[in-house]
Chain A
Amino acid sequence: MTGLAGRRQRLPGRAIARPALCQVALGLVSLALALACLTLGTIRLTPLQALQALAGQESPALQLLVDWRLPRIGAALAAGAALGLSGALFQTLLRNPLGSPDIVGFDAGAFGGAMLALLAGLAPALVALAAFGGGLAAGILVYLAAGGLHAERGRLILIGIAVGAAFTALGDWMIFVAPLDIALVAANWKQGALAGVDAPRLAIGAAILGLLLPLGLACGRLVEALALGDDKAQSLGVPAGWARLRLGLVGLGLTATATFIAGPIGFVALIAPQAARRLVGSAGLPLATSALFGAAFLLASDAVARIALAPRSLPVGAVTACLGGAYLALLFGTWIRRGERLR
């Protein structure tokens, strides 16, 4: 990462404009994708028809859009933004482009918690709380087993993989013991639950995100300071220990909320921050751009999932997994060329 920081010295004049430009561009892309998603499906609408239906009175088209397509788009945008931001926070925290919450098992923890609540038949708000509890449990386990966040980066990731594997085993077991109808819901959820998102779940998730997104975005200064290393951060007046704890807690909250809304969708938190950094051309991971990229990425993946094998619709997790595999191949290719080792 230090090599990258050295290579990407920016020209002073572009320093302010480029992130803002990227954010506006990503916002426009998301808007265009949202409009496209409104028109896609078994009942095709032209963009004009969709907008007219939204502006107009009661009509079957309005019913379709409000009941089905708008919640799905909202869920994709909200979960994508949360995942992108939490990925940026965790990758900074773990000092590793692969240290994202889906690889180190935090979303497996959140899913385990949510499954438990789902099996017990609890209300949506309690399921959200259980998702957060599961994610927190996974985080605490990793923290304790690694002996603190200062551990060597490879060690934290291995321990995260171990904890994730244990929680995945638990989740699979719960799917195994559940009655078939609940098991189907749970397994669908595990691969991305955008299709089944309902108004109460989206409302609760959006309310939590309304609190957590600003908190996460406000960590920008901490992220920049931590990217310089603990000693530099300390000398800039940022106590590294507290900064890490705050990043970790907000990141866990964001992961758990995204899991609650849309299931443990992999690879968004992994890809979005790195792609955002390349777009912006900064040394550290840009938070707002990561969130926007995550939102656009998940929405685009959902569009692909809906039209790739139409009329059958794929789980969105399968689409992000395929895109994620391609991304990892690219990433490893660069590492091998540079002869970098993960020590």
Chain B
Amino acid sequence: MTRAPPLAIVFGALLLLAASLAALTLGLRPIAAGEWLAILRDGRGSEAAEIVLGLRLPRVLLGAMVGSALGLAGAVVQMATRNPLGDPGLLGINAGASLALILGSDLVGLAGPQAATWLAACGAAGAVLAVQALAGARGGADPIRLTLAGVAVTALCIGIGQAIALADPERFDLVRNWRVGALSGAADAVLPSLTAAWLAGTLLALALAPRLDLLALGDDRAASLGVAVRPTRLGSLLAVVLLAGGAVAAAGPIAFIGLAAPHIARRLGGIGAVAHLPLSGLIGAALVVSADTLGRIATPPAEVPVGVVAGLLGAPILILLARRRSAAA
């Protein structure tokens, strides 16, 4: 069901809107239709308005930003490395960012929300380089080898990070809350630096979109069409690092969103990067907001962190992709 690109983007925006409305309405204290009308008419003041505007709206906003960053990062990394299994979680990028955050808070006490985003971006960059070097990916390597390299880097980063965190029970308590990927933390503290990284990464990715399209034809063809291949690939990886680093610093490592969103987007819209990238971002945002809502209402009064929900729902998507890939091969 391929639609014209603008229509697909409108559809993606509607999806995100529906997910956000559901997230604002559902929860331990559901908001009835009448209360919604009252909130729209009177603004703040009532108990329902406090819940919707004070508690749920910041969380939806954070989830949408994190989700769109992950979806966009996944789409860019898939196009830049021509790897259909590209995902910040699978490629070790999230784990590298996590390790940088743990190291930073341990060694230099840099855990302040402002420094965290940039620290995580540095870790993400290190992981990207390590995975590319491990997999020998000059012009886009074998997807399975990239995935395995990602798993290896993830295991390495998590191993070292856990070793550091375990040495100190208090830090461990902090880290275990954050490691599962949660949106329940203080949204206001992380929003400024997340917004900066998100804007920079998104603009860079959108600026590179036409060139990413040409890169899909292969390095040689793209070069003959006037694309500077290496700078384009480096620029896209920089965008990925900013987006994924910001998302990890804000919400912890959330896997599979970057894998699922671009594949859903491809089903909905065309294949041109100019439409594909924003659509992937919208779908990623809708996925994270819905996963967070699901986690909030699944086992009341306790919450299932969004990273756990994404891990459980995302695994079948990877299985489907693996099955389809071999059916086509």
Contact = CB atoms under 8 A, between A and B. Distances in A.
A103 B90 CA distance: 13
Interface stretch (B202-210, B270-278, B315-323): B315-323
A95 to B, nearest CB: 14
B166 A188 contact: yes
In the complex, the 5 A-B pairs of residues with the closest C-beta atoms, listed nearest first: A169-B311, A321-B159, A166-B315, A318-B163, A158-B322
Interface stretch (B58-66, B149-157, B188-196, B230-238): B149-157
Given A159-B322, A341-B142, A328 B147 contact: no
Contact of B318 (A161, A173, A188, A315): A161
Residue from A266, A318, A333 whose CB has the most chain B CB atoms within 10 Å: A318
A145 interface: yes
A49 B178 CA distance: 47
A154 B325 CA distance: 10
Contact of B156 (A165, A315, A322): A322
Interface stretch (B3-11, B71-79, B167-175): B167-175
Given A325-B156, A332-B149, A172 B326 contact: no
Interface in A160-208: 161-163, 165-166, 168-170, 172-173, 175-177, 180, 183-184, 187-188, 190-191
B159 A98 contact: no
A281 interface: no
Interface in A244-295: 266-267
A159 B317 CA distance: 10
A320 B152 CA distance: 12
A101 interface: no
Contact of A165 (B85, B145, B311): B311
A336 B308 CA distance: 35
28 contacts: A98-B148, A145-B323, A151-B326, A155-B323, A158-B147, A158-B319, A158-B322, A159-B323, A162-B316, A162-B318, A163-B315, A163-B319, A165-B89, A166-B311, A169-B311, A169-B312, A173-B304, A176-B305, A180-B173, A188-B166, A191-B163, A267-B155, A312-B167, A315-B163, A317-B163, A329-B134, A342-B142, A343-B329
A279 B34 CA distance: 75
Contact of B148 (A157, A159, A191): A157
B286 to A, nearest CB: 20
Contacts of A329: 133-134
B145 to A, nearest CB: 5
Nearest to A183: B176
B326 A154 contact: yes
A328 B147 CA distance: 13
B179 interface: yes
Interface in B116-143: 133-136, 142
Interface of B: 85, 89-90, 133-136, 142, 144-145, 147-149, 151-153, 155-156, 158-160, 162-163, 165-167, 169, 172-173, 176-177, 179-180, 255-256, 302, 304-305, 307-308, 310-312, 314-316, 318-319, 321-323, 325-326, 329
Interface in A114-158: 145-147, 151-152, 154-155, 157-158
Contacts of B152: 324-325, 328
A262 to B, nearest CB: 14
A172 B179 contact: yes
B319 A145 contact: yes
B162 A177 contact: no
A322 B305 contact: no
B247 to A, nearest CB: 17
A260 B162 CA distance: 19
Given A161-B148, A332-B135, 11 more contacts: A98-B148, A145-B323, A161-B151, A161-B318, A169-B180, A172-B176, A172-B179, A184-B169, A187-B162, A321-B158, A328-B148
Given A177-B302, A191-B162, A324-B152, A172 B308 contact: yes
Nearest to A98: B148
Nearest to B307: A169
A162 B322 contact: yes
Contacts of A190: 162
Nearest to B177: A176
